[in-house]
Amino acid sequence: MLTPGQKAPEFTLFNSDKKEVSLTDFKGKHVIILFFPMAFTSTCTAELCEMRDNINTYSDLNAEIVGISVDSPFTLAKFKEDQKLPFDLLSDFNKEVSPAYGSFYETFVLNLKGVSKRSAFVVDQDGVIQYAEVLESAGDIPDFQAIQETLTSLN
């Protein structure tokens, strides 16, 4: 499991516009990485809409947001459009990044294999993890207050 103080694992994934996005693209900014199990499910929608509705709070804290799931870029594009999400959703369809962050169910509900666990990471402008929360229950949501407090302490 990743812990604060560790270097965040580098990644390059396709976003919902079929463009590659890398962790290094955020150099000089803090980034909130949210892994979520599946687009269009109730808890995932609530979590990402919470971030959407508070986007100014995170922008004011010099933070960018990315959501990552094992959904395809095409599914994520529809989800992003439907929910009017103003941040990138990245496809870990090949299931390489979620395990690297310890955010991976080998078996999920309905016997689905290889799904991202709901988790939140705050990575500072130097690529170091400052906050890490991996939730075992997909019905739980990250501690947004703790994420905001972590970002406040970095500014």
Residue 13 identity (one-letter amino acid): L
Tokens of 149: 């407090």
Q: Which of 21, 33, 39, 44 is catalytic?
A: 44
Catalytic status, residue 44? yes
Residues whose CB falls within 8 Å of the CB of residue 125, separated by 6 or more in sequence, listed in order: 26, 27, 28, 29, 30, 62, 154
Residue of 137, 149, 120 lying closest to 35 (CA atoms): 120
Q: Which positions are annotated as active-site residues? A: 44
